[in-house]
Structure formats: C-alpha cells, structure tokens
Amino acid sequence: MVMNGTNLEHASAYNRRLVLEAVRSQGPISRAELARLTGLSAQTVSNIAEEFAALGLLQARRRRHASRGQPPVDLAINPRGGYTIGLHLNSGGLVAVLVDLAGAVVRRRRWKLSRFTAQTLLPRLAAAVAALADGERGVRGRVLGVGLAMPGPFDVAPARRDGPPAHAVAWDDLRARLGEAIALPVLMENDATAAALGERLYGVGRSLRQFFLVYVGAGLGGGLIIDGVPYKGAGGNAGEFGHIVVEPGGAACSCGNRGCLERYFSLDAARAALGTDDPATLDARLAAGDAALARWLDAAAARLATALVTVENLLDPETILIGGEASPALIDAIIVRLAAMPPSVSARPGRSVKRVLRATAGPAAGALGAAALPIFDMLRPSFRPMLAAPFAGRLRAAVG
C-alpha cells in the first residue's frame, strides 16, 4: 500500500506527518521501505529521518537478520524521547492521558467536575497535568506539550454563549493562563475534532483516510478527517454538526436558532425527554425494552438521518462514525435505526465500508486526540524555524 506522500516543498509538513505516522504504525522500517510505502523520494525520506533523529523522535537500529548482504538500518519511534498530555473537558468531567511518542498510553486519569468558571478550572487543569507528569518515573522534564480539548464553538457571537456551563469559559484566555501556570506549550481544540483525531490514531479510523465523526455528548458535535488529518475550518469550528436545523421553528437552542439537531439527539436531549442522561441508566432501560426510550430513539434517528445524508452529499466520506460519551449499546441502537437512511452519493460501486459505524477509540478519544496536538503543532509548515524555538529546545532536553 502506498500512503501518498508528495515531494512538493509547500507540503513538507504533510510529508513529515506522513513519515512519522508510517514509522509509528509500520516500524521498525528501513528508509527504502519508507520511501516505497509513502511514495516519497529516498532523499526526502532520508532528510526527514535525520531531522527527526536529531530531535530524538526516531531511533535507528540495525536489523538482526537479512536475507543477504549488510542488514539494513531500521527506523523506529523513540518512545522515551518525550511525552505529551491530553486533557478533555466534557459533560462527565475531566479525562487526562499521558502518552509516549510511540502513541502508547502510559497513564489515564478521570475526575468528576460540576459547574465551573475559568478561575476554578485553571487550578484543576494544572493539578491534572502535575498528577500525570509526576506519577511516572522519568516523565517530569520530558513532557513536550499539553493538548486541551473542550466543547465549542470558539469565538462566536454572544448568542452562542448561553448554553452549557463549559461554553461560558473564555477558552483562549484559559489556554494562555494554563500554559503560564505549567510552563509548557498548550494547544487547544474543539472536543469533537480532537475525538476524530483520537479515532484516527487509536480506533477504527486507523484504516480510514476520510471520515466524519458524530460526537454524542451533552450537545452534538462533529469532527472531520480529510486525507488522514483533521479539518478545523477558518475559526476552528468546523463540524458544529449539532446546529444543523432539522426542525424549522422547533425547540429553542443555545445557539440562538430553533430546531437544531442536538435538541433532539444528545445526552441533554435524552435528559429532557427521558429524565436521565446517565449512560448506565439508559442502557438498563434499553435492555428492558423501555417504550419511551424506543420512541425517542426512533424520532432522533429520523432527524439524524436527514443531517447525515447532507454530510454524505457534501463531503463524500468513506464512512460516518458515531462515538462520544453515549454508551456503545445506545449508539448501536441508533445505528440500527439508520439502516434505512435515504440514498446519497455514498451509494458508490465497490463500497467496502458500511455507511455508518460505531467509533471504537472509546470515551478517552478526545483526550487521546488532544495528546497528539503538540506533535501536530511541531510539524506545522514553520518546522525549520521551530528548530531554534523553545519547543525544539524542550525536545532536545528530553532526550539529552
């Protein structure tokens, strides 16, 4: 399989991501094999490998066995070259993960949080970072950055700020203050986009290049992966799937509109219609054949299908994934009801993936995606100037 790299200079950041992901997923692997896998030239692969080795991201080792001649030198991720921390603030509280450079989850923690403000949240986030960084030997001083995923939308009109408590926090200010408090780079992302990235790296999305993730939380979000990387949009708000109007003049929504999809399918919508948003309680009612829950699922699926067909016709993804904070059983019950969705451009010849699948990265997908943000940021187009920046200095210190 060729992973479709490019030798165009303006796509150097993409090529670096491609090489790093190829080594992470296929390594140990030789430079020649990397070139064949990615479609990049041998010189491009060699240059990228040397840059990553200098930063401590990759390590080289000679293959033990070879069919003939000198054994090739393989490249592999250096797991202890550094660590990242992902924080995901959702309706259930705060999920945090510590991840090494090979993508392995070293530690995972969860804290329940109720209502909060930026002032009360800041020390909790800083304490979570400290708990993960200090909880494992040899990690403190090797943390390269922190990713913070939280509900959107960001920086929009005031009418969209009167929803759940999380929406009232001045997120960008919080990000900057958290960075100062912990003395680490902090990257911020919409939680649905972060969850889509987590699914791409850890779930069924690993075998997909183009997909749309429906994130079921207190509200309803969406994350879009295009050519293996997340699409954020002009203001970081791409994928506000829950605010597609499916019932003109319907239920009032926190965004200022009426009839938005998340008023009919989300955990908040479940609580309004059924008196609970607790996944275990909903699962028990589902298993018992609760008639009210079945009616709610039927109505929600009908409206969800309308929005999903729009997504398919606009974006033509390989598939649509449904995940988030809802239980696997509840998601499966919705997917069963989506089997009769109206036709769309998804009816292409030779299709091998179902139109709708359940996401598999689990409830930590948002935190896992957030943990990947510092590495994605490091590989942005201004990579070379960053070799002299504090971030690169921290990389060198982590492996020195």
- Under the banding of pLDDT at 50, 70 and 90, the label for residue 243 is very high
The two tokens of residue 348 are 């292409």
From 67-71, 135-139, 189-193, the region with the lowest mean pLDDT: 67-71
Distance CA 373, CA 379 (A): 10
Quote the pLDDT of residue 27. 79
Percent of the chain scored above 70 by pLDDT?
Answer: 84
Quote the pLDDT of residue 388. 39
Asked whether 146 and 175 are in contact (CB, 8 A), the reply is no
Query: Residue 213: what residue type?
Result: L
Residue tagged 């250096």 (tokens): 78
Residues sharing a CB contact under 8 Å with residue 236, sequence separation 6 or more, in sequence order: 152, 154, 155, 189, 190, 193
Classify the C-alpha dihedral 83-53-196-162 as positive or negative.
positive
Asked whether 222 and 240 are in contact (CB, 8 A), the reply is yes
Domain covering 207-358, topology? Nucleotidyltransferase; domain 5 (3.30.420)
Taking phi over 0 as left and psi of -120 to 50 as alpha, with beta for the rest, 258 belongs to: beta
Quote the pLDDT of residue 81. 82
Residue tagged 């790299």 (tokens): 5
Quote the pLDDT of residue 220. 95
- Under the banding of pLDDT at 50, 70 and 90, the label for residue 118 is low
Alpha helices in the chain (DSSP H): 12-26, 31-38, 42-54, 118-134, 171-182, 191-202, 267-274, 279-287, 291-315, 328-337, 365-378, 383-386, 390-399
Query: Residue 369: what residue type?
Result: G
Quote the pLDDT of residue 237. 83
Classify the C-alpha dihedral 186-187-193-195 as positive or negative.
negative
Distance CA 185, CA 395 (A): 12
Strands 143-150 and 186-190: parallel
- Under the banding of pLDDT at 50, 70 and 90, the label for residue 153 is confident
pLDDT surpassing 70 at residue 393: no
- Under the banding of pLDDT at 50, 70 and 90, the label for residue 173 is confident
Distance CA 67, CA 25 (A): 24
pLDDT tens per residue across span 45-97: 999 999 888 878 888 877 766 556 667 789 998 888 889 999 999 877 899 99
Alpha helices in 135-241 (DSSP H): 171-182, 191-202
Which of 152, 165, 167 lies closest to 113 in space, CA to CA? 165
Query: Residue 238: what residue type?
Result: A
Domain 82-193+364-378 matching CATH 3.40.50.300: the answer reads no
- Under the banding of pLDDT at 50, 70 and 90, the label for residue 271 is very high
Domain ranges of the chain: 9-77, 82-193+364-378, 207-358
pLDDT tens per residue across span 192-230: 999 999 999 999 999 999 999 999 999 999 999 998 888
9-77 and 82-193+364-378 in the same fold = no
Beta strands in 44-155, from DSSP E residues, in sequence order: 58-62, 73-77, 83-90, 93-100, 105-111, 143-150
Quote the pLDDT of residue 289. 97
- The mean pLDDT of 368-389, rounded to a whole number, is 64
pLDDT surpassing 80 at residue 369: yes
Asked whether 196 and 241 are in contact (CB, 8 A), the reply is no
Distance CA 125, CA 146 (A): 10
When the pLDDT of each residue in the chain is averaged and rounded to a whole number, the result is 85
Burial level of 33, CB count in 10 A (0-12/13-18/19+)?
A: middle
Domain covering 9-77, topology? Arc Repressor Mutant, subunit A (1.10.10)
- Highest-confidence segment of 16-20, 109-113, 153-157, 343-347: 343-347
Quote the pLDDT of residue 167. 44
pLDDT tens per residue across span 297-350: 999 999 999 999 999 999 999 999 999 999 999 999 999 999 989 999 999 888
Asked whether 29 and 20 are in contact (CB, 8 A), the reply is no
